[in-house]
Amino acid sequence: MTDESRRGGSQPSGGAPGGPKLYHAGTLTYTKPALAILFFWLLWGDFCYTLMESVTGPLMQLKFQALGASNTELGLIAGTIPSLVYSCLNPIISFKSDRFRSRWGRRIPFIIFTLPCLVSGLVALAYGEHISTFLRSFLGAASISPATFTIWTLAVLLVIFTFFNTFVTSVFWYLFNDVVPEHLLARFMSWFRVVGLASASVYNLYVLPQSQTHYTEIFLGAAALYAVGFTLMCFNVREGEYPPPPAYVDGQTGPVAAIKTYAAECHAFPHYWYLWISTFIGSIGGGVGVFGLLFQKSTGVDLAHIGKINFALTLTTGLLVLVSGWLADKYHPIRVAMSGAFLGLFVATPATMIWLFWLPSPHIAFLIQLTITIALSAPVAALTGVWDPPLLMRLFPRSRYGQFCSVNAVWRMVGSIIGGVSAGYFLDKIGGWTKDTAHAYFYIPIWQMCFGVPSFIILIFLYRSWLKHGGDDKYIAPILASASTTMPGQAQAALASTERDKDPL
């Protein structure tokens, strides 16, 4: 029995004669009110999670900069090291989650049992400087400057937080694919994006301007909201029953067989290699993302105005993402995402190079950033927002959705590992060449273009491969016929394309 047979009945159907219309997701059945309650709790969880994520990234950037960390150190601590932790853990968690079976489901246990540790990590980051002061005295490390010791104390605490956050980051997205009726996934993801952007807007408008004066309070608030919000979501969302987990490629068990299965199933076809390589190269270009807030500050705009710019970005993107979701349903997510990538690479990114040639007053700089944000950055974010997960849901085999998502995440994280530290080194060198550290951030678009162009070219090959595998109406996700090796009476098949990846709309 495959995931496809389990999820085959996701279309709405009539219940008893004269009864309410029913919606199905595998063994789960919903009425419209029950479906609304499901959506509420999933979107509530997203709100809490996005707000927590919005706090940790930017605030750590500001904290490390205030402590005097170099761009190379910042790229290493805030980009490379967390990416390394994520890339090591995510495949294990995703592979195990796809095959995990319990009375509470296969996704929620990974979230709820790591929640206390994650919240503790947030609290530790809130009091990071106090912890550093205590440890420096306790260890007798007076020869190390207080700032340096604090930087690396916070770095260790960030690694601990990232370790536990990886459990949530890995499986939270997979939960939607298991509990939401299939024909409603695209529309649900549109609202999911809207809620995520709304929580980011709350942060940018009200929290970011206070981040340098209320660092500890903000982290404690994020910890409390996440603890309460995610606990409520986990206890109010129910997973259905799953078929037996898919067999390993050689019919054996154990860690070696698991690694072999993971590597073989996910890397057997050029079709997926196009995605892996495009993701990898694009992530190197995206390694400058950890310097995004510092780029905005270098134009002379203060944090209060940056918060307004980012609020405009999230608000506009939130409105446009509903349109992009409709376009993705009508024309397929791969076409919409490619359009967004093209607009971002050849229009929006070049527009941000204006700061290389002109640095106006802070008031004019604010207006220019606001205009670029609303006219270019928001449409790009809305169009590319259908890439992950709506496109991946329709590109990967459903029975191993988490596993394939983890491979994509690994390639993205490996690219981020390389990109974070190398982008920081690049900016440090540019700063030394220009004799102006702030001006170095204006070269970020050049870095993005150097890696964005080859990534987009490989994406075109992925699109052509998608057409060859069936395209709009007949797409079949290729996968190794792993289960056939354990079925009596069947000859062992080398390859099989048995996983339909088409929403029954």
Q: How many CB atoms lie within 10 A of CB 18?
A: 6
CA distance 329 to 250: 38
Torsion angle of the four alpha carbons 148, 150, 154, 156, in this order, in degrees rounded to the nearest 10:
70
- 484 alpha carbon, distance to own chain's centre: 34
CA distance 299 to 332: 38
Tokens 């499901």 correspond to 38
Alpha helices in 290-361 (DSSP H): 292-298, 303-331, 333-343, 349-351
**What is the reported pLDDT for 439?**
82
Side-by-side strand order, sheet with 13-14: 13-14, 21-25, 28-30
**What is the reported pLDDT for 15?**
54
- Residue 284 amino acid letter: I
CA distance 216 to 448: 33
Render each residue's pLDDT in the chain as its tens digit; 505 residues: 333 333 334 455 555 555 678 888 878 899 999 999 999 999 998 888 888 887 887 788 888 888 888 888 887 888 778 878 887 888 899 888 988 889 888 899 999 999 999 999 999 999 999 999 999 998 888 888 899 899 999 999 999 999 999 998 888 888 988 888 876 776 787 788 788 777 777 777 788 788 778 888 989 998 999 999 999 999 999 998 888 887 787 777 788 888 888 888 888 899 999 999 999 999 999 888 878 888 888 888 888 888 889 888 878 887 888 888 778 877 888 999 999 999 999 999 999 999 888 888 989 999 999 999 999 999 998 888 777 777 888 888 877 888 898 899 889 878 888 888 888 888 888 888 877 777 888 999 999 999 999 999 999 999 999 999 998 878 888 887 654 333 333 323 333 333 433 333 2
**What is the reported pLDDT for 487?**
31
Nearest alpha carbon to residue 25 among 291, 239, 307: 239
Q: 479 has which bridge partners?
A: 496
CA distance 284 to 424: 12
Phi, psi of 241 (to 5 degrees): -90, 150
CATH number for the 3-500 domain, one of 1.20.1250.20, 3.20.20.140, 1.10.150.670, 2.40.50.140?
1.20.1250.20
For 194, the token pair is 């809207």
**What is the reported pLDDT for 178?**
85
Within 199-312, strands assigned E span none
CA distance 501 to 485: 23
- 11 alpha carbon, distance to own chain's centre: 28
3-class state of residue 13 by DSSP:
strand
Nearest alpha carbon to residue 289 among 49, 455, 69, 451: 451
Q: The whole model's pTM is what?
A: 0.70
**What is the reported pLDDT for 17?**
56
**What is the reported pLDDT for 13?**
54
* Sequence ranges of the domains in the chain: 3-500
**What is the reported pLDDT for 328?**
81
- Residue 337 amino acid letter: A
Phi, psi of 14 (to 5 degrees): -75, 145
